[in-house]
Amino acid sequence: MNPSTPNLQSETTRSKQERWIGITFIQTAGMALKLLQSTICCAAIYFHEFYNHFRFEEHDKYLIGSACLFLASKSEENTRRLRDVINVMQKIRFPEREPLNIMSDQYHKFKVIISEHEQMLLRALMFHTTVSHPYKYLMNYAKFLGDILQENEDSMRGIVQMAWTILNDMMPSVLYITHKPNELACGALYVASLLLDLPLKTDEKAQQKWYEEFGVSLETLEKIGKDIADVYEKPLIMPEVMER
């Protein structure tokens, strides 16, 4: 699945808030379901892609988010039962309620609705469910950089941990679909090295800079770095009460 190019200039503040809330729900539910980070990331990308085609007013973000998690768990071979996805969704939205009885009419209703939303999601994705994750690139790049850069093991570990956190923080933003995953991984490493004051220096004998080894230009790296900084420096102001 290639990065999309949504018209971000026309996206309203409310739409950005809904996007952020929906992905935060996916992250919270994914952790409750003990899904791998790559699976949660896959579900988040599905969510972003879906709402590039539809308005938030048209489809409930929690039902779509649940469908994204269920589909991602299958496509990433990290499968979870639909009833577990439904119960986690209900627990997050209505923590005071008891888990749904699988024999109840309400459970059956949710099962049908989420299955319908999964089919809707598949059509929006044009049945292209394979996703490349920046996390995978991050770990591959970290191993490579550990061999070629003049950094000690502890410094490199700190940079990677910070970059991993940055990727987590960026997930609710649109950066996951406006940048290629390898570029986003490089951008996270770049920002992490700056935040920790541990600049990634290529060996003087190397013919290319470290980011060029991964097919990323300095211009692209700095653009992603600025985009990441903007997300941190200009956080969305959420309404005091969001509807469940």
pLDDT tens digits, one per residue of 76-123: 999 999 999 999 999 999 988 888 888 899 899 999 999 999 999 999
The mean predicted confidence, pLDDT, of the chain is 87
User: Residue 149 in 3-state DSSP?
Assistant: strand
- Which long-range contacts (C-beta less than 8 Å, at least 24 apart) are formed by 208-213? 210/145, 210/148, 210/149, 211/186, 213/144, 213/148
* Residue 24: both structure tokens together: 């935060």
Distance linking the first and last C-alpha atoms of the chain:
31
Taking domain 134-233, whether its CATH number is 1.10.472.10 is answered by yes
- Of 129, 136, 138, 135, the closest CA to residue 43 belongs to 129
User: 3 or 196: which carries more pLDDT confidence?
Assistant: 196
214-224 mean pLDDT = 93
8-124 adopts what CATH topology?
A: Cyclin A; domain 1 (1.10.472)
Q: Do domains 8-124 and 134-233 have the same CATH topology?
A: yes
- In the chain, what are the domain boundaries? 8-124, 134-233
Residue located via tokens 């997300």: 231
Range with lowest mean pLDDT among 54-68, 164-178, 202-216: 202-216
**3-state DSSP: the chain helix, strand, coil percent, rounded to 5?**
65, 0, 35
The band of 240, judged by pLDDT with boundaries at 50, 70 and 90, is very low
Name residues whose C-beta falls within 8 Å of residue 194's C-beta, 6 or more positions apart in sequence: 225
